[in-house]
Every structure is written in structure tokens, then in C-alpha cells.
Amino acid sequence: MSYTTFIEQGKINNARDFMKLCLRNFGIMQEHYQDPLSLESVLEKNFDIETNSSYQRYVQYLNDEYQRLKELIHQQEDKESMDIAFTEFVANTQQSIADYKKAMVKRINENKVYERYIEEIKKWNCSPQYENIKNFAIEQCTNALNDISFYDREIKRYEELLVDPRASFEEHMKVMIDVIKQSIDTYAQSINRCITSLKERKEFFDNFMEEVNNIDNKTIEHYE
């Protein structure tokens, strides 16, 4: 629905209300952009931070991260919980090594197939006019080749963790805490940005409404 549809349907009959409707196109309703277009949606615009969807979402994220941090700190204070977590860390590391080794074998076999295609296509002694198609086919197979070194690096990385698993586990726990703290800081900043943004949009809205009310609200006849 276009903005002028409201004029055509007789739902708006003066310039003042049409200007208010057009405000919807300038970010004031950004958290309700999927809501149906209407003059009422603008006039009834709510700038209450507590009901703002973005604000609520970031507050929930922040609370979740605080809870994760609390649980992690509590876990570190409990020897039995740490022993369980250490056992899981070692098992997960071993599983990751096995998974990457399995994936590497699969990728190596896939590469053998593509290399065979490349080999056979290169043997094709085609006419010059088909050389570009031949090169294109080779390029496609070449681009499909897997980077085996990635899997090799990951296997070595996980294997190094098991050289001194206890030290690796302690470093892992430290990193987890640091990541959660960074998330807390990020969500706190997002909350502050929401508050600032909503304040600025409310000020813009209030000033606009004050100025737009200077427009004469006389009815503009709609001609059939």
C-alpha cells in the first residue's frame, strides 16, 4: 500500500495528517516496520523504553550472559564440577580430532575425483573454438578442490591441547569467562545505544508533531 492510497480511499483528507503519515518512512517506526501502514500507528507511537523490542532483546541477552558467568564461576569453586568439566573437555577434544580426521579423508577422496576429471579433460584435444569451454570446466573442478591443510592444522591444534590437557582446560575456562565478559560489555553498549536512539527519535517526533500542527488542517476535497 502506498502513502497516497490513504488519500484515494478517503482515509486522509488534509495535508497535516498526510505529513504525519509520511513520517512512517523516516525511521520513527523502525522497530515496527512490518506493521500495517496507518495514520493511527504514527499517532499512537509509543516511546516507552521498557516496551521497545530491541531494548528487551538486549536486556534478555545481557541477563543470560550474567547467568552464564555466575554458573561458570560457581562451577570453578566446586571440585567435583570441575573434574566433570575437565573430563568432558578431554572427551570433546578427542572427538574433534576424530571428526577432523574423518572429514579430511572424505575431502581427500573428493579431491581425487576432481583431479581425475581435470586429468581427463586436459587430455581432450579439442578445436580452438572450444578451448574456452574446456578451460572453464577445468577451472570449475580446480575451484572445487578442498584445502586439506585446513584439516591438518585443526587436527594438530586439538592434538596440542592434549599434550598438557589440564593446562589446556584451565586456559579454556579462562577464555570462556573472557568471552562472556566481552558479551556482557557488548550487550550493555547495545542497551545504551537503544536508549540514546529512542530518546533522539522521540525528540525528533515531538518536534515534528509540534511543527506539522502549523499546517492548516482544512479538508481537501477528493474529486471522482
Question: What are the tens digits of pLDDT across the range 29-81?
Answer: 777 778 888 899 888 888 999 888 889 999 999 999 999 999 999 999 999 99
pTM of the model: 0.72
Domain annotation covers residue 181: yes
pLDDT beyond 70 at 224: no
Interval 140-156 mean pLDDT: 97
Total domains in the fold of the chain: 2
Residue 53 lies in a domain: no
pLDDT surpassing 70 at residue 223: no
Query: Mean pLDDT, to the nearest integer, of 183-192?
Result: 97
pLDDT greater than 80 at residue 114: yes
- Same domain (yes/no): 95, 43: no
Percent of the chain at pLDDT exceeding 70: 99
Tell me, yes or no, whether 63 lies in a domain. no
Helix, strand, coil fractions of the chain, as percent rounded to 5:
75, 0, 25
Q: 176 and 96 share a domain?
A: yes
Residue closest to 220 by CA, chosen among 16, 43, 42: 16
Residue with cell 572453464: 136
